Amino acid sequence: MDKKSFGYLLGVVLLLLITINFPGLTESSEARYAEIGMEMFTSGDFLHPRLLGILHFHKPPLTYLITSFGYQLFGVNEFGARFFLVFALAIQMWLIYRISWELYRDKGLSRLSMVLYGSLPLVLVSILNLTTDAFLNTFILAAIYCYLCEQRNKKKIFTYAAALLLGMGVLTKGPVAFLPFLIFVIFHRYFLKIPWKIGVHEILAVILCLLLSLSWFAVIIMERPALWDYFTNHQIKDRVMNAQVFHREESFWYYIAFIPLLCFPYFYIIIYRFFSKKKRNSGEDKALMWTIIILLFAFSCFSSKLILYLLPSAPFIAILGAKTLYYKPDGLQKLTKKILLILLYIIGIGGSIFLIIKQIYLPSVVLLFLLIFSLFWLYRKKSGLSLINISMGFTAMILVLYASFGFYNPSAINSYKGIFQEMENNFPDSSTLLIYDQLIPSAKIYTNKKVVTIHDNNYKTQREIQFESADNPVNYLDISNEGEIEDLIQELLKPASILMIRKKDLKDFPLNPQDYKPKKTEIGKWYFYSN
């Protein structure tokens, strides 16, 4: 990587390191991963993920393990939880540069691909919120890069490296790690007419990949044989074919509707390239294009859908979009620059005004400075701002806006940090927090209390306790169908406990809380009952 490209990469990393600590942890996905990582950090048990004290086998443990390392370095806070996400993005951007170089052998194109990737809204969302997706994408990109290096250098060490990286991807999010890699490899070999040669090294690499992929699953299934059916039927089959189990069912067109916004404006540029008769596509172009199409189709066929499932398609969109713009066909780059500049000024000025209204002055001054500096540059340079600089400005603006907005308006990003800070001030001596029919993982991070979840009508609070041993008391009460009402009463009678109920859920609570906790405190949308 040349010095100029490294400077852009370093700029994005520094921006993220400055801003990631400001917004609180968002519910429920980010807080869930952060809380499980915290339990790993405090317990030292890196094989058995636990969420609020209960075994949680929805995902393999690698993301939680990485998060626990962040806590070891920086303490249990937002910076520690998100630090390795920044590290992952730095690796991803370097890999985008290297993959583009392996495909096209052009430093300028590689630099543009890298910067465009770092400015995609979909990519920024994956870095600003702790989930498995950013880490999974890192392993997939690294495996693709090793595959391309093996094609060029013919050194089998890259084959084994790709196998290990895919195994790490499986330990991050399961077998879905294979899909983007295999789709790209199939189309790359097809359009570049690379023959398939399966020898001893390839067979050994596959075996190595499977051994690493299955290692954690094998260990815990031997401990608890019932997990075999849980993984194969519940976590794999149901996610692909029966999303109603996870309440994530969406129509087939869900991703097709969102990806143009999440990869704006480069997804539209790819559509232009796909239908343009003037543009001659190389084998590399076709491999990227068809990888995007088939990935989008495959994810659309899955029953379970979340926005970040699309993240593996972002690298191919960035590289192909950069290739289309790099050679400036029919003024397309000039048009793209104008669209991005207009968008940048609309969001920047609007965001600055909003922050000033909210009396958040420092970030608004930073944003206005960036906008004024860009206008000064436009005035000084007749050629205007480069697409790379505009993209960097867009990234900086989004990061500053999100960090400022999230820090001063935690409830707007679904963070409970402010609520729990106020609760701690009001109830410093309480040792147990009972939360009615809401699963709030960040409660354990932001308070020093024992957290007990009370399940009644909300499917999100229904915990899987079938894998718990009989001698392990779980911090969970199931009062649906009056199952554990007596246990709930006993918890309410404890003087050191407080009850947390969302205002609109009060009508569903089976008891009169003030019969047991006479003091009621209102914080935001919540009631807190205490003695």
| pLDDT tens figures, 496-531 | 999 999 999 999 999 999 999 999 999 989 999 998
Predicted local distance difference test score (pLDDT) of residue 277 = 65
**Taking Cα atoms as reference points, which of 105, 94, 85 lies closest to residue 141?**
94
The runs of H, that is alpha helices, within 154-233 are 157-173, 178-191, 200-223, 227-229
Mean pLDDT for the stretch of residues 71-84: 96
Please check the confidence at residue 78 and state whether its pLDDT lies above 90.
yes
Q: Which residues 6+ apart lie within 8 Å of 293 measured at CB?
A: none
Predicted local distance difference test score (pLDDT) of residue 387 = 82
Predicted local distance difference test score (pLDDT) of residue 356 = 82
Phi, psi of 436 (to 5 degrees): -85, 115
Mean pLDDT for the stretch of residues 226-233: 82
Mean pLDDT for the stretch of residues 453-461: 91
Mean pLDDT for the stretch of residues 136-142: 97
Predicted local distance difference test score (pLDDT) of residue 468 = 82
Residue 439 identity (one-letter amino acid): L
Spatial separation of the C-alpha atoms in residues 432 and 453, rounded to whole Å: 11
Spatial separation of the C-alpha atoms in residues 356 and 359, rounded to whole Å: 5
The token pair that represents 341 in the structure block: 């500049």
Which residue bears the tokens 């962040």? 70
The percent of residues above 70 in pLDDT, for the chain, comes to 93
**Is residue 492 within 8 Å of residue 511, measured between CB atoms?**
yes
**Is residue 46 within 8 Å of residue 68, measured between CB atoms?**
yes
Please check the confidence at residue 329 and state whether its pLDDT lies above 90.
no
The percent of residues above 90 in pLDDT, for the chain, comes to 56
Residue-wise over 199-216: b if at least 16 C-beta within 10 A, else e?
Answer: eeeeeebeebbeebbeeb
Q: Is 76 exposed, middle or buried (0-12, 13-18, 19+ CB in 10 A)?
A: buried
Q: The pTM is what? A: 0.91
Spatial separation of the C-alpha atoms in residues 394 and 383, rounded to whole Å: 19
Please check the confidence at residue 170 and state whether its pLDDT lies above 70.
yes
**Is residue 387 within 8 Å of residue 112, measured between CB atoms?**
yes
Confidence of residue 168 (pLDDT cuts 50, 70, 90): very high
> What one-character-per-residue DSSP string does 319-367 give?
HHHHHHHHT-GGGHHHHHHHHHHHHHHHHHHHHHHHHHHTT-HHHHHHH
Report the DSSP pairing between strands 432-436 and 526-530.
unpaired
**Is residue 2 within 8 Å of residue 107, measured between CB atoms?**
yes
Please check the confidence at residue 68 and state whether its pLDDT lies above 90.
yes
Q: Which residues 6+ apart lie within 8 Å of 10 measured at CB?
A: none
Confidence of residue 369 (pLDDT cuts 50, 70, 90): confident
Confidence of residue 244 (pLDDT cuts 50, 70, 90): low
The token pair that represents 14 in the structure block: 């520094």
Predicted local distance difference test score (pLDDT) of residue 358 = 74
Cα–Cα distances in Å, from 150 out to 2, 55, 155, 161, 185? 23, 41, 5, 10, 12
The token pair that represents 419 in the structure block: 């609520």
| pLDDT tens figures, 98-110 | 999 999 999 999 9
Question: 258: how many CB neighbours lie within 10 A of its CB?
Answer: 15
Minimum mean pLDDT range among 187-196, 208-217, 219-228: 219-228
Report the DSSP pairing between strands 50-51 and 526-530.
unpaired
Predicted local distance difference test score (pLDDT) of residue 377 = 65
Report the mean per-residue pLDDT for the chain. Answer: 88
